[in-house]
Amino acid sequence: MNRAAIYAGTFDPITLGHLDVIERAARVFPRLILAVAERTTKVPLFSLDERVAIARESVAGFPKVEVEPFDGLLVAYARAKKVGVLVRGLRAFSDFEIEFQMALTNRKLAPDIETLFLMPNEDYSYVSSSTVRQIAELGGDVRPFVPEPSRKALERKLGLARPGFAAG
């Protein structure tokens, strides 16, 4: 296993909270793979190709970060990439139970792969992609929650061109 880490998620779309976790993980690891999940229990707004493109544009300023799509078990993907650490963001206490269960399951499946939990800055601890999508769908200003590539993608996808979505 190498000293890289994987931060996986649906990133539908990528938020400032995600970018905060990415920045923190990139300070710890010499290489970080942002793995965009194809299969999800959620119904994504954006296609896999769109989510990968938004993520790539959003992390363009992070030279240690690569963005790749993936499908299947995360631990199998990590083994194929020879990566021994999975990074997970913990926004709020409500995330802990689900993330803890997933980490223990991954440990049972792959005891050689560790899960590292990182907390985002408290300014982003309440931000989720689903909340951002709902704000966008209802015409709210998403600029405080997402990087510019996500804002533009939401505008295009939802056909929005009104205050709160226009560059400003």
Q: Is 91 a catalytic residue?
A: yes
Q: Is 51 a catalytic residue?
A: no
Catalytic residue among 3, 39, 42, 156: 42
Catalytic residue among 18, 51, 81, 133: 18
Q: Is 156 a catalytic residue?
A: no
Q: What angle do CA 120, 91, 142 make, to 5 degrees?
A: 80
Q: Is 150 a catalytic residue?
A: no
Catalytic residue among 51, 58, 81, 129: 129
List all residues 6 or more positions away from 7 whose beta carbon is below 8 Å from its beta carbon.
21, 22, 25, 32, 33, 34, 35, 86, 87, 88, 89
Could you report how far apart the first and last alpha carbons of the chain are, in Å?
A: 45
Q: Which helix (H) or strand (E) holds 22?
A: helix 16-28
Question: For residues 143 and 147, what is the distance between their CA atoms, to the nearest angstrom?
Answer: 7
Residue 52 is encoded by which pair of tokens? 């990968």
Catalytic residue among 24, 91, 133, 151: 91
Please list the active-site residues.
18, 42, 91, 129
